[in-house]
Structure 1
């Protein structure tokens, strides 16, 4: 086995392809996405994408896009990551969702945890870490000062091939006191995945299984006495200081909100791809009987859906670029007002993507095209499930815009 090259300034192994560019990794995602289309049924049956697909992702460098260069990652940036995520969702929503919510949290870990933690959790180079924000289970101090964790956490998208898990637990600091949240990161040998996914209407293959920990041991430095949503980066972050890249000084929660918009856009693009195939292969139902491509109504519906999705994609990429500009400005740019403003834009991105599919593509595709297992049916079903996600249905659709108005107008809570 060849000895890996060393990055001189860090003394750590280089990534497998030191010369890989963002453009190349995006092109790889688009090529792979095309091969995912005929495998959607298989992914749903298994409830996660296959080992061969996982290996292709690994070889393509997808699990290192957001991992810092210090640890053999590519550190390409969130815009590259979002492009890859949208491409994969376009081919197979479940696969894209599972990949994105597994690989994305490299950014949060590289931003929030200190050097000692990062040295340990990023040691493998590839990093897959599902995360949940709902606290569950218990944490008790261990004799060595660490924590003994017990509990089960649901909706851990990306868990089948994960190397770590980022979760929350409620801890009672002292007798009679109110429990407080604690965020922790658990290595793979401290938890197991339950075989409990696949019963939802959509995203059946997204690998969103539950994770359970039974008397797991978490070192003290793997835990933070807070909740991810309560963390502020305005005073700086360990990651920005450690890596010298402002990307690791941005707000992790606002980035997670942007992810949801990108996933919705990718799924909607796949639905319109399927609609276009139907237009090219089917005729109209009523006279004059002509190919759908020649019918004014189908032309209108296709054009409306395409325009909505193009607008949504432009908005989500502009939001990502705004997030990156805020990183360049410095951590103080990530005020609650500006992060909530980004969330309000993402809300409209999701609505545009949903309208394109729900209002135009799905109802006019024809009943035979929306039978169970048909591509457009699956994309509609998956996007419907996305719309029921708590981060969208509750936070984006109501809380985010209300809170933005309160902050902007200076209204007391």
Structure 2
């Protein structure tokens, strides 16, 4: 159905919708994991709430809201079901990417149904060959989260040699041009259904792809203010935000677990009076809160330029992009601090605590949370080092 929106919700309204869904998501989390796919009814709940429209262009029925609106929604949804929240993160960022492309893409995708979704697999596993008027893609692309719900196809990453240089492009491949292989058997975030896509001789015209790291007046100057934000920043910040939500959910479960608990090996009877139990919660909450504040502050800083119709300066792009990537490690540390104090009760498969811990483990392993390499990049830039070839900031060396 092609639903044109009238007045978009306020940020407070749509964040409240996310918060209201937390109990529903928690109730479905176990079945979501067992099915290894987010339930259809959950996707329908997300559609009704408008989560996938937050970054969608207005001309195609979207809300075109501020970047932190999606981040705040993800920080709530992750508390209920990390896998379901992950799908909002992935499928909710792609409307932003469509906003960067030729307008023909938006018309093809949303002309008949502006609720159509797109998945992705950006790692360049397959091959890309230049052809007359476009490119031909072949091969297999792994871990396409939410692909079962993405009737619009997928963005696939690929490297193309242009003028002797390897260029990283993102290609929109229609759903009829690939098959899905169910190989998503993993330790955490099982419910994301991040399956393998197999592509055979798929032609992608020139207007349905872009240089994923491109950023400058030529590529972004003509776009609406929201789409003047760098794509890599938007995607990486969204991943960091959903991990914050997962860690907040771990703290929620810890409180619920400890409130009725009695210590049997210490003189203190009630667990809530144990100084170590209280200390772990306080320390973990401080880590999680700091990570959330950094993401929101970084995004507000970058958005302050785009909101005025300006491009985000390179120094700001590097610092904000890099520091957000420490979120996964910090939230995993916070979650593990709490998990350790749940003792044996936390390890049963019937306990939501162990599922939340496993989901955070996998989320923190995402490439967008690679704090080792990114710390080197940030420190090097601060010390005057030149950016290396293949940098994610659209800067040619």
Question: Do these two structures clear the TM 0.5 threshold for a shared fold by scoring above it?
Answer: yes
Residues paired across the two proteins, number: 385
What corresponds to 1:314 in structure 2?
293
Q: Does 1:160 align with 2:148?
A: yes
Q: How does 1:12-411 map to 2 (within 5 A)?
A: 14-15=4-5, 18-110=7-99, 112-123=100-111, 124-140=113-129, 145-162=133-150, 163-171=152-160, 180-197=167-184, 199-224=185-210, 226=211, 228-229=212-213, 231-232=214-215, 234-238=216-220, 241-242=222-223, 244=224, 246-335=225-314, 337-358=315-336, 360-393=337-370, 397-411=371-385
Q: Which moved more, 1:133-142 or 1:72-81?
A: 133-142
- Deviations along 1:99-138, one digit per CA (max 9) or x if unpaired, are 211221211221x212222332233322432223321323
* RMSD over equivalenced CA pairs, Å: 2.4
Q: Which moved more, 1:48-57 or 1:338-347?
A: 338-347
Deviation at 1:51, TM superposition (A): 0.7
What corresponds to 2:392 in structure 1?
none
What corresponds to 1:7 in structure 2?
none
What corresponds to 1:9 in structure 2?
none
Deviation at 1:324, TM superposition (A): 1.1
In structure 1, the gaps of 5 or more residues are 5-12
Deviation at 1:47, TM superposition (A): 1.0
TM-score (norm 2): 0.89
Contact 2:247-2:335 at 8 Å conserved across structures: yes
- Deviations along 1:339-394, one digit per CA (max 9) or x if unpaired, are 22113321343333222111x2011111122222411111111111122222223x
Which secondary structure does the structure 2 equivalent of 1:283 belong to? coil
What corresponds to 2:391 in structure 1?
none
Deviation at 1:179, TM superposition (A): 6.2
Indicate how the Cα distance of structure 1 residues 119 and 46 shifts in structure 2: closer, same or farther if over 3 A, else same.
same
What corresponds to 1:8 in structure 2?
none
Indicate how the Cα distance of structure 1 residues 329 and 59 shifts in structure 2: closer, same or farther if over 3 A, else same.
closer
Which secondary structure does the structure 2 equivalent of 1:66 belong to? coil
Indicate how the Cα distance of structure 1 residues 207 and 409 shifts in structure 2: closer, same or farther if over 3 A, else same.
same
Deviation at 1:188, TM superposition (A): 2.0
Indicate how the Cα distance of structure 1 residues 184 and 23 shifts in structure 2: closer, same or farther if over 3 A, else same.
same
